[in-house]
Structure 1
Amino acid sequence: MYSTILYILLSASFTELCDPGTYLPSTSSTNCATCTVGYYCAFYTSGTTVRTACSSGTYNPSAGSSTVQACLSCPIGTANGNTAVSICPKCVAGSYSDKIGATACISCGRGTYSPNEGATSVQSCLPCPTGTASSSLGVAACLKCAHGSYSDTAGSTACTQCRAGTYQSNEGATSVSTCLTCPTGTANALAGGYECYPCPDGYSCTDPANPVLLANATTKAPSNTTPVTTLSPSTTLLSVILSPIPGISLSTIIAASTAAAGLTNAVTTAAASTMVSPSSMSLNTTVMNMISSTSMRLNGTSITTVSSNLTAPKISIRALMLMVILNLVLCDATGDFFGAFEIWKENLFRTLRINIGNQNVFTNEKLSVEIVNSNRHLGQITDSGIVLQNKILVEANEIGPMKRHLEIQLPRGETYRTGDYLAVLPINPIEIVSRVLKRFHLSSITRIKITSSTNTFFPTNYPVSAFDILSDYVELTQPISKKQIEILARLCPNGTERISLTNLAGDEYEKEILDKRINILDILELYPSCKLSFAQYLQMLPSLRVRQYSISSSSLWNSEIVTIAFDVLRPSLNGVGQYYGIASNYLANLNEGDHISCSVRASNVKFHPPEDTTIPIVMIAAGTGIVQFRRFIQKRVVQLLCGTEVGRTNEDFLYLDELNIWSQLPKIQVKSVFSRENNDGNKYVQDLLWEDRNEIANLYFNGARFYTCGSSKKLGTSVKTCLIKNIAEIKQCNEDEAGKILEEISLDRYSVDVFT
């Protein structure tokens, strides 16, 4: 429930006479300041100086410049695609620039690399040595050939796979002679193998590349618990099953599924380097028979095929190119997004004829955890800014949560544009981390070592504290998915708890899980019989995600310092414990001088104030949505802010002092409406917009730009409805036609940035 709304109208420019080489730095300034580096400040015909950014391909290291000649061309070995910079950055390793004034560096070609920064010619791009290859542009180093492959030619773009019937277990091989023939009694029917497997019962492996089913031999599908044969994690099993279009890399087809299912780099690499010939269009029946009778281990997950009658369909190129193998699935980002993805992933693998329906995904864990004693070492490295100020804007009350203001020095070398976002990588609250440690009988000083058979975001193969893993790497409060509930139910020996969990994965899921934001830890505490290991728990958790905040300051105020405003979320939703907003509580507890992992993210190009200061601007915001427009005002005095509702009285007014000062400047109107007070019939922002509809119409006909920031469900919908009503009255049309007019306006004059 919103309780305070701020509404401000601006319709003309505010000017101040400044000498060349100086400019008016902010809306609240009355004194001219020296023109900053990256800009020049020259007289315009009106007698007013304007700060102009140096164009891309140029830089200006000097302050106080008054002519465009101060913008110098970038030297060779550097490039600059941005405006208003004081230095052109060197070309990164893997690229070069051989002309002055470059706006972008040129990437080295495939099969080459360049290890040094600031390269000035194509000669710096060296051919990949033997034993390595590079299929990408602009690399600083070529990749070693994976086991099962080799490169005997310098400048290779791809490594050559060892043929079927051979194996090669070392990386960086430089000759085909490293591909060794499978020993007697073993076989390898696939190219690019790093080991051979025992010849299956009932087969002859005289030719290790083509095992033959013996006459009158019978095969028996193994049980789900007794593997017959184990294939290495790098075996390109999908190349047998997919049988893709000739000349199309397997990675093109399986890229999404490998990333989603956590498949190894080895699989993707092998697939990427395998070009399928026309002869492979039909599946190898012999190999498929072997697959159908064998329990395999693919990428650390036990997979047992239960059918012994798999056939090898022959599919024409034309038919395959037009085949839809899986229908599009749309997910609700506010609902069970990850649960829907898990269902899609299972359907994908079922379509690819790998049946994992009856398998316990934890039969063979991808992660193993070893308790060790070692010095603490954090594996996650990110750029960090420095907290300069952290203050309370509004105390928590019955109306809403606490609101805070944070000022941050950006990481070295980073700048931003007015209207950009700040991406923050938070740390989990110690209260939640402590609950996890208690559940798994670990202490905060326990050291663990993680090993994994697949690519993982965890630090691997060296000791790190369990506390740091839980604090820095994983999402602890994400609602548990239906699939995860089903897995935990199978791990509960207590029959009553197992039945209760199974019910939660059904019709009760949305009400009892999503709405209450019940996470995996909550379930483990509510159902203590679940036998989940710490490794299994980590394997179920997604990586910690960045959170994005609107920057509330203007880059003209300071291009290297940002401010943000945010709610501190601590509602109690699930009845298990207090729910914490991960990022907001992390930010709220930062002190001056603390480091914060962050970086700048560009915003929607439409959600920037127009450079033409004579264009009127109408801005509408609610709650902390006001921060979007504080930066507009800070950048230019002539703007329209349409406001914020954060409380019933002035003590809940965000940035009250600043707005009071700015409202005294010419052509600025500040209007407010408080939803729980008597305001002459105006209770919400749409009421005030309707009352001022004639003034807003005049602004529109004078070319005004309109901006909205706030809740999509409340402010976004109500403002849109009000604007449609306004248009219908002005144009003398019905609301359907008015809605179409608003859609046309949205292309260039109405921008929306809303959040859930």
Structure 2
Amino acid sequence: MRYALLGAGNTQWVATYQAFPKRIEEGLLAAGATPVVERGIADAAGDFDGMATRWMNNLWATLAEEYAADTSQASGPRYQVQLLTESDVRPAIVSEQAYPLTVVTNEELVADATGLWDFQIEPPRPSAKSITVELPDGVTYDTGNHLAVFAKNELALVERALRRLGVEYDQVLRLDQPAGGRTHLPVGTPVTALILLTEFLELQDVATRSQIQTLAEHTECPWTRPQLQAYTAETEEAEERYQKEILGKRISVLGLLERFPAVELPLAVFLEMTGPIRPRFYSISSAPSANPRHVRLTVGLLEGPALSGDGQYRGTCSAYIAGLEPGDVVYGYVRVPSPTFAPPADPATPLILIGPGTGIAPLRGFLEERATQHANGTQVGASQVFVGCRHPEHDYFYKQEMQDWEKSGIAQVHTAFSAVTGHPARFVQNAIANAADTVWQAIEDGAYIYVCGDGRRMAPAVREALAAIHRQKTGSNDEAAQQWLAQLEADERYQQDVFA
């Protein structure tokens, strides 16, 4: 048997990057299989499209050479656009995986920071929402699960795209796909241009090199074409330029269309080159023991100056969630995270919960479950909770609940305030170091450690703080401390739900 294997992954998930493709290849090789080409690697945090395209081109070339295969493809757009009248519109397309979720509440978690501290130390944080949705009958979830949410693009972004494409927002379209095949678009269903771009297309994805090449092919301008081809040529210089100016600045196809007005891109081609709206996965902040059909999410608005330098950037899904009101219906589904991120089966097991900012999301669910068990007379282990924010009067999420759970005896809360001068801990890793004796005793008593939040800076700093406690308490070196942490992970006593 022969095989070809392309491993997709994301280097932001360091612990599991390419682990599964490697396991598959080891099994194939052990069974006597031989590769057609070397195993490929595609990194979603880098030039994913370029890496995958180069591997695929090599595969097709190898197959063509070995089997005299015809690898040519029909040219031209996959989609044809037909203009219809408003009376033909019957838009009713939703994802097959998703089901309707009804918004119950949507509450702001961030208070005005005016006068609380000098903003030169650190600026206030953007909005964050605590949103509760109701699941349909027959659907439930487990503590620690994720909720996938299908967002919609903001109106201002859609209007930008339609204006650049020269299409009216109320223009009715029906897409046909003569060649057939799978698609994320509502083929055969009349929709307005506004609905099409709002609900079906990712308008803020970074432009890939193949997409930029398509743009270059749709301009006759002698200045514009070389400008675009400078990102797509098969040279080191072009790849570095793409990495720095497009990938590094998160510039989308729409952004390039606005920068290069001489590109004349037909709507059908734009639809073909633009990916589908992807679900965003949020850690559930509640426990089914409190209400099996109500799911709470804790969502921070991703907002700030665009890396491209073109105005403000707002995250597609966080902005969508921020604007939802009670009674609104959204689409999504419950998902079990992988790797596992769930509380131990025995409620008497002590916990160490570390979640600054929106990292508190799943940990609030853990605490709500323990609080419900405690209220029902079950003996629960103590939870050492490490939370962090800028200022307790600005963005201390679920502050009253934390205080109530501390008073009931199920939790001891350790705080870190990054904008409060003189507070004992600025970051959660400082708070962990300050509570070294308590943390060590909890681990000796069998505590499970859960870390949620920023995987770029916070999670490594927390890991180092725990390693430092091990070195301090045992007199060991760093190698022994890292082995100790690795064993905790292997025993599922150290779990992370982190993001970059």
How big is the shift at 1:413? 1.6
What per-residue deviation string (whole Å, max 9, x for no partner) do you get for residues 647-688 of structure 1? 224222111111121111125322212123334653222222
Residue 108 of structure 2 aligns with which residue? 392
1:535 equivalent to 2:260? Answer no
**Residue type of the alignment partner of 1:428:** N
Q: TM-score, normalised by structure 1?
A: 0.56
Q: Which of residues 262, 278, 282 in structure 2 aligns to 1:545?
A: 278
Alignment partners' CA distance in 1, 2:311 and 2:470? 49
Q: Which structure 2 residue ranges, 5 or more long, are not aligned?
A: 8-31, 114-122, 233-237, 372-380
Residue 610 of structure 1 aligns with which residue? 344
Local SS of the residue matching 2:407: coil
Q: Which of residues 361, 367, 391 in structure 2 aligns to 1:633?
A: 367
Q: Which of residues 190, 206, 217 in structure 2 aligns to 1:479?
A: 206
Residue 709 of structure 1 aligns with which residue? 452
2:382–2:412 Cα contact (<8 Å) kept = no
Moved more, 571-580 or 403-412: 571-580
Alignment partners' CA distance in 1, 2:359 and 2:291? 21
Q: Percent identity?
A: 28
2:82–2:173 Cα contact (<8 Å) kept = yes
How big is the shift at 1:368? 1.0
What per-residue deviation string (whole Å, max 9, x for no partner) do you get for residues 536-587 of structure 1? 0100011111110001011110111100011112222123343221111111
Relative distance call for 1:606 and 1:500 in structure 2 (3 A) is closer
**Residue type of the alignment partner of 1:393:** L
Residue 163 of structure 2 aligns with which residue? 438
Q: What pairs with 1:263-282 in structure 2 (closer than 5 Å)? A: none
Alignment partners' CA distance in 2, 1:362 and 1:439? 28
Local SS of the residue matching 2:366: helix
1:497 equivalent to 2:224? Answer yes
Q: Which of residues 70, 80, 85 in structure 2 aligns to 1:368?
A: 80
Relative distance call for 1:601 and 1:396 in structure 2 (3 A) is farther
Q: Which of residues 414, 422, 431 in structure 1 aligns to 2:147?
A: 422
How big is the shift at 1:447? 1.1
Larger helix share, 1 or 2: 2
**Residue type of the alignment partner of 1:628:** P
Q: Which of residues 408, 412, 418 in structure 1 aligns to 2:137?
A: 412
Residue 593 of structure 1 aligns with which residue? 327
Q: Which structure 1 residue ranges, 5 or more long, are not aligned?
A: 1-244, 246-251, 258-320
Local SS of the residue matching 1:571: strand
1:567 equivalent to 2:300? Answer yes
1:383–1:411 Cα contact (<8 Å) kept = yes
How big is the shift at 1:518? 0.7
Residue 197 of structure 2 aligns with which residue? 470
Alignment partners' CA distance in 1, 2:410 and 2:161? 56
Q: TM-score, normalised by structure 2?
A: 0.83
Local SS of the residue matching 1:614: coil
Q: What pairs with 1:175-574 in structure 2 (closer than 5 Å)? A: 322-353=33-64, 363-373=75-85, 374-381=87-94, 382-395=98-111, 398-452=123-177, 453-455=179-181, 456-505=183-232, 506=238, 507-573=240-306, 574=308
Q: Which of residues 481, 488, 492 in structure 2 aligns to 1:745?
A: 488
Relative distance call for 1:462 and 1:380 in structure 2 (3 A) is closer
Q: Which of residues 312, 317, 324 in structure 2 aligns to 1:583?
A: 317
Residue 124 of structure 1 aligns with which residue? none
2:389–2:416 Cα contact (<8 Å) kept = no
**Residue type of the alignment partner of 2:91:** L
Relative distance call for 1:746 and 1:677 in structure 2 (3 A) is same
How big is the shift at 1:367? 1.0
1:395–1:403 Cα contact (<8 Å) kept = no
How big is the shift at 1:721? 0.7
How big is the shift at 1:607? 2.1
How big is the shift at 1:473? 1.2
**Residue type of the alignment partner of 1:753:** D
Aligned-pair Cα RMSD in Å:
2.7
Relative distance call for 1:256 and 1:454 in structure 2 (3 A) is farther
Larger Rg: 1
Residue 684 of structure 1 aligns with which residue? 427
